Amino acid sequence: MRYDVSSFSLYHLPEFLKSTGYQNPEDPSHGPFQYAFGTDRKFFQWLQERPKRLKIFNSWMECHRQGRKQWFQSLPIERLDSSRLLEQRAIFIVDVGGGHGHDLEAFRIAFPGAKGRLILEEQAETIEELPSQRAPLMEPIVYDFFTPQPIFGRTHSFSTTVGEHYD
């Protein structure tokens, strides 16, 4: 994925910039990727039309962080007052574009007693490939992250600079 898509786009970047008079692209359908591949499709649209590449992309997204610190290890999750999450319908995390749910799975394993729903928002093609062992750990919802967010409000948020949470 990095070589045959990303590097190919980067290889054509000088040519693309010259063609635009060195102006920043403002239209997501006309950028370096589209120039390199001769398409007007946005990257994820293009990817969905190529199931083999989509599968490779999803695998890469899942494994590229293996062996690294998890996102939640930098946050004081254990200090959250989860009493407001005891109601089964309360949403705890929404992972937008979370691939096959690897981050939510890692969170649920690290905090098996955490209350609240874990929502995975992803494109239909990726949801269809969701490994069966992960499905019970989260609620997959088909979602196009280029459209308005359907889930509003928040239960908790974090300040990563101070490491304290606030409601």
Alpha-carbon 144 to chain mean position: 11
91 and 161 both lie in a single domain? yes
90 and 140 both lie in a single domain? yes
54 and 82 both lie in a single domain? no
pLDDT confidence of residue 132: 81
* Domain extent at residue 44: 2-63
Total structural domains in the chain? 2
Which residue is associated with the tokens 């929404």? 94
> Above 60 in pLDDT, residue 164?
no
55 and 86 both lie in a single domain? no
pLDDT confidence of residue 83: 59
Spatial contact of 10 and 32, defined as CB atoms under 8 Å apart: yes
156 and 89 both lie in a single domain? yes
State mean pLDDT over 78-97.
Answer: 71
Residue bearing the bigger pLDDT, 81 or 68: 68
20 and 84 both lie in a single domain? no
> Above 80 in pLDDT, residue 159?
no
Strands 164-166 and 157-159: antiparallel
> Above 60 in pLDDT, residue 134?
yes
